[in-house]
């Protein structure tokens, strides 16, 4: 540590080539955040939301792992069924200078289909995916507020949060490039505005009925052609 002369500011001395560890609540730019993140291979998940670092807590199988598996399965099936559509799980996304998120799931359109999210030289995604989805238990407060606002500002067209503690799934679509509006739910089901045939049986998902949700998606894809 060193103390600046004539001041009470204390600065850590960082050895050349080393980065300080990330900590919850750090205020960083996206470039500094990624440099520190890459220097900590033991960290499985960390995000920068509006310049603030958020690090993952232990994961519950009931409140996160099992719902996440259902969501990932549905988006994987959709992406394999529709050309120029790509699904990813826990991929780092640079939304902008203030936000580096790692959503539980995402869907994006390939550049050939007009997608606005592309990998950089390191494989990180840059720009807003068309759909970002989160499984929220302990992270519900962040996912439903700060992260949602960051995705809206970045231009993510659809944002889905499965709040497993409250047994609710929220799904919004961007309107006029400015605000999120809920996607209508009919008979427990909702359909994406930007991905034809992506109909999710929210009631079945909340009941952890993955097979039922998959049957509804298959039927919607067949109807969409």
Residue 179 sits in a domain of what CATH number?
Answer: 3.90.1570.10
Same domain for 178 and 209? yes
Same domain for 212 and 139? yes
Same domain for 7 and 106? no
CB count, 10 Å around CB of 156? 29
pLDDT over 70 (residue 194): yes
Crossing angle, helix 66-81 and helix 210-224, to 10 degrees? 20
Q: Looking at residues 174-179, what average pLDDT do you find?
A: 92
- Please state the φ and ψ torsions of residue 59, each to the nearest 5 degrees: -105, 125
Point out the least confidently predicted range of 7-11, 73-77, 205-209.
Answer: 7-11
Domain boundary among 11, 36, 55: 55
Same domain for 181 and 211? yes
Same domain for 33 and 70? no
pLDDT of residue 73: 98
pLDDT over 90 (residue 19): no
Instruction: Say which residue the tokens 């995916």 belong to.
Output: 129
Is residue 225 very low, low, confident or very high in pLDDT (cuts 50, 70, 90)? confident
Compute the distance between CA of residue 135 and CA of residue 176 in angstroms, rounded to an integer. 26
The per-residue pLDDT for range 42-85, each reduced to its tens digit, is 877 889 999 989 887 778 898 899 999 999 999 999 999 999 99
pLDDT of residue 24: 80
Contact 43, 55 (CB under 8 A): yes
Domain boundary among 28, 55, 82: 55
Q: Looking at residues 2-24, what average pLDDT do you find?
A: 49
Compute the distance between CA of residue 9 and CA of residue 188 in angstroms, rounded to an integer. 56
Same domain for 116 and 215? yes
Record the pTM: 0.86
Half-sphere exposure of residue 55, counting CA atoms within 13 Å on the CB side?
Answer: 14
Domain boundary among 15, 33, 55: 55
The per-residue pLDDT for range 76-125, each reduced to its tens digit, is 999 999 999 999 999 999 999 999 999 999 999 999 999 989 999 999 99
Same domain for 80 and 121? yes
Same domain for 42 and 96? no
Compute the distance between CA of residue 36 and CA of residue 55 in angstroms, rounded to an integer. 13
Is residue 18 very low, low, confident or very high in pLDDT (cuts 50, 70, 90)? low
Task: Please tell me whether residue 91 adopts helix, strand or coil conformation.
Answer: coil
Q: Looking at residues 167-183, what average pLDDT do you find?
A: 95
- Residue 213: give the domain boundaries: 61-224
| Domain count across the chain | 2
Indicate the DSSP class of residue 113: G
Same domain for 73 and 48? no
Instruction: Say which residue the tokens 């959709």 belong to.
Output: 78
pLDDT of residue 15: 41
pLDDT of residue 212: 98
Same domain for 45 and 73? no
pLDDT of residue 10: 29
Same domain for 26 and 80? no
List the structure tokens of 43. 């960290």
Same domain for 83 and 174? yes
Contact 158, 130 (CB under 8 A): yes
Nearest to 128 by CA among 215, 81, 194: 194
- Please state the φ and ψ torsions of residue 145, each to the nearest 5 degrees: -130, -85
pLDDT of residue 5: 38
């Amino acid at each position: 540590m060193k103390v600046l002369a004539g001041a009470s500011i204390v600065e850590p001395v960082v050895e050349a080539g080393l980065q300080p560890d990330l900590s919850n609540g750090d205020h960083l730019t996206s470039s500094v955040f990624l440099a520190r993140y890459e220097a900590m291979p033991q960290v499985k998940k960390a995000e920068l939301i509006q310049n603030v670092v958020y690090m993952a807590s232990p994961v519950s199988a009931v409140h996160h792992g099992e719902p996440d598996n259902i969501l990932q399965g549905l988006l994987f099936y959709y992406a394999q069924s529709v050309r120029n559509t790509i699904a990813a799980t826990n991929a780092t996304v640079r939304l902008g200078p203030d936000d580096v998120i790692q959503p539980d799931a995402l869907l994006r359109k390939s550049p050939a289909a007009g997608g606005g999210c592309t990998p950089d030289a390191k494989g990180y995604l840059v720009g807003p995916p068309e759909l970002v989805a989160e499984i929220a238990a302990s992270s519900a407060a962040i996912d439903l507020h700060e992260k949602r606002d960051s995705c809206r500002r970045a231009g993510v067209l659809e944002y889905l949060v499965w709040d497993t503690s409250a047994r609710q799934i929220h799904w919004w679509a961007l309107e006029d490039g400015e605000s999120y509006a809920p996607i209508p739910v009919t008979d427990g089901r909702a359909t994406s505005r930007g991905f034809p045939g992506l109909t999710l049986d929210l009631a079945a998902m909340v009941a952890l009925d993955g097979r039922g949700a998959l049957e509804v998606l298959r039927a919607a894809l067949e109807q969409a052609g």
